[in-house]
Amino acid sequence: MISRLRVFFDNFTLILIAVVLAATFIPAHGVGATIFQWLTNFAIALLFFLHGAKLSRQAIIAGVMHWRLHILIFACTFILFPILMLSLQPLLRPLLGDELWVGMLYLAALPGTVQSAIAFTSMARGNIPAAVCAASASSLVGILVTPFLVKWMLDADAGTTGMLEAVLRISLQLLLPFLLGHYMRRWIAGWVERNKSWLKSVDQSSILLVVYTAFSAAVIGGLWTAVSPSALLILSVVCCVILAIVLVATTWLARGLKFNKEDEITIVFCGSKKSMATGIPMASVLFAGGAVGPAILPLMVFHQIQLMVCAVLAQKYARRCKDESAECEY
C-alpha cells in the first residue's frame, strides 16, 4: 500500500498527510495547544535563521545581473497570480466557500519555492544560477510583500495600521531571524554546509509542527464540518486549472520576450510555483487560531499538484534538450 502511494507522493508528503490525520483525531488543546504554539514560534524562527545562514552574498549580487529574468519571475509570482485569482473571484468564491477562498487568495500572494524550483530547473537543464538567485530572492522579498498583498486582497478598505502591524509581526518573527542568520553566516556558514543533510530535517520538522498546531486549532474550530470531501475535490480541480493557466502564461511570456530555452525553463519553474516552506509558517503569523487551517489547505493541495505536474514537465524539457543538445548544453 505504502509503495503504491509513493508512486504519486514523496515521503514528506505522506508524513504531512499523517500529521493532518493526527491533528484531526488527536488535536492539541488546552495547555498542550499553548505548548505547541510556543514550540511552533521557536521552530519558525530557527527555520528562517537557517535560511539566512544558507544564502550567500555572492548569490544576491549575481542575481542582480540578470534583471530581466528576475523582474519577469517576480511579476508572475506577485502580480500575475493575484490578478488571476481576483479575476476568477465571481466563479471561485461561491464554488469554494469563504474559508477556502481566503486560502486561495493567500496562495496567490505567496513567494515561489526554493528547493523544488531549483531541483526541477536542474532536472530540465535550465539556468541553475539564475534559478538559485530568483528563488532565494523571491523567498526574501515575499516576507515583506506577502502581508501587503494579503491585506489588500482580503480587505481593500483595511487601514494602513493593519498592514503595518502585519509587516511588523512578520519582521519580528521571520525577517529578524533571517537577517541574524545571514549576519552570522561568516562564522557558521561552514558548519551549516557540513551539516546540511540533517539540517534539512529542521526545515521539514518546522513545517510539520506548524501544520499540526494549525490543523489542531482548525479541527477544534470545526474545520471538517465546514470543508466536505466534495469541497476538497473541487479545490483540487481548481488548483489544477490555476496551475495550468500560470504554466501556459509563463511559457508564453518567456518566449514572447525572446528568452533562450535555459531561461525559459527557469521562468516556468520559478514563476509558477508557491512555497509551502514559507507559506505555512507565515500563515501562523498572519492568521489567528482556527483560521490558519483553512488558509493553508489550498496551499498544501496546490503544492502537491505542482510537484507532480512539474516533475513530468521537467522530464519533458530534459528529453527535448537531449534532442536539441546544441541548444541545451551550457
Domain membership flag for residue 239:
yes
In this predicted structure, what is the pLDDT of residue 249?
97
Q: CA–CA separation, 204 vs 13, rounded Å?
A: 10
Domain membership flag for residue 255:
yes
Q: Which one has a higher pLDDT value, 175 or 88?
A: 88
* Each residue's pLDDT tens digit, 68-105: 899 999 999 999 999 999 999 999 999 998 889 999 99
Which of 101-110, 226-235, 276-285 is predicted with the least confidence, judged by mean pLDDT? Answer: 276-285
Q: What percent of the chain has pLDDT over 90?
A: 25
In this predicted structure, what is the pLDDT of residue 2?
52
Question: How distant is the alpha carbon of residue 330 from its chain centre?
Answer: 29
Can you give the CATH number for the domain in which 140 is found? 1.20.1530.20
Domain membership flag for residue 86:
yes
Q: What is the mean pLDDT of residues 45-54?
A: 79
Band the pLDDT of 161: cuts 50, 70, 90: very low
In this predicted structure, what is the pLDDT of residue 87?
95
Domain membership flag for residue 118:
yes
* Each residue's pLDDT tens digit, 207-252: 778 778 877 877 787 767 767 888 889 999 999 999 999 999 999 9
Domain membership flag for residue 237:
yes
Domain membership flag for residue 27:
yes
6 pLDDT higher than 60: no
**Residues spanned by the domain of 46:** 11-320
Domain membership flag for residue 3:
no
In this predicted structure, what is the pLDDT of residue 159?
38
Interior/surface letters 224-254, b for 16+ CB within 10 angstroms, e for the rest = eebbeeebeebbeebbbebbeebbebbbebb
Output the pTM of the full model: 0.74
Number of domains in the chain: 1
Most confident range, picked from 78-87, 135-144, 193-202: 78-87
Domain membership flag for residue 67:
yes
